[in-house]
Every structure is written in structure tokens, then in C-alpha cells.
Amino acid sequence: MPRLDDAAIARALEELAGWEREGDALVREFRLKNFREAMAFVNEVAEVAEELRHHPDIAIRYNRVRLALTTHDAGGVTERDLELARRIDALVRQAR
């Protein structure tokens, strides 16, 4: 799975509202209603991650969840990260 170049990442981000590039990762912060809702969201993300066998870095601070996607083996952002970002966005559209 090859690392995407800067132009490819920039193009992909046009379709991924809310996501930003931060070095070798794509990051997005989600604000939920409270801690319980934040945990519910993280558990949904975790199910998708297990299905795709690709796991985001997750930071939870009460009602805020920050996800960072990168492909460590490739040393940057790959199509696997874009797929995971799209699946996470689909969760958000379904539920909220």
C-alpha cells in the first residue's frame, strides 16, 4: 500500500470535510454530547477499525474525541486511511 503524495492527500481532503492533515496523519476532532456519547462513538469507530484491520489513534477528553489516521508501515497517509476516514464519516452521518 503506497504512501500518497501531497497532491493526492490534498485532493482527498476536499471530499473529507472536517479532516485535516497533520504531518503524516489525517486528524479530525468530534464533539459529542457528553462522555457517555463520546465512548459510544469510540466503540463504533473501534468496530470499523477491527473490520478494516486498520486502527486510528484515539484521544478522548470528556466529550471530545480526536482521531488520527496514519499507516505506520508506509510512513504516511495511504488509501487505507482514506477508507477509514470515509467509514467514520458515514458513522457520524448515520447517528447524529
Question: Which residues would be at the binding site for its own copies (CB under 8 A)?
Answer: 35-36, 39, 42-43, 46, 49-50, 55, 57-62
Q: What is the dihedral of CA 75, 50, 52, 7, to 10 degrees?
A: -40
Nearer to its own copies, 25 or 82 (CB): 25
Nearer to its own copies, 55 or 87 (CB): 55
Residue type, 55: H
Determine the Cα–Cα distance for residues 62 and 83; give it in Å rounded to an integer: 27
The least distance separating its own copies from the CB of residue 41, rounded to whole angstroms, comes to: 12
Nearer to its own copies, 13 or 63 (CB): 63
Determine the Cα–Cα distance for residues 86 and 73; give it in Å rounded to an integer: 20
The least distance separating its own copies from the CB of residue 13, rounded to whole angstroms, comes to: 23
The least distance separating its own copies from the CB of residue 33, rounded to whole angstroms, comes to: 14
Question: What residue ranges in 32-74 does DSSP mark as E strands?
Answer: 57-61, 64-69
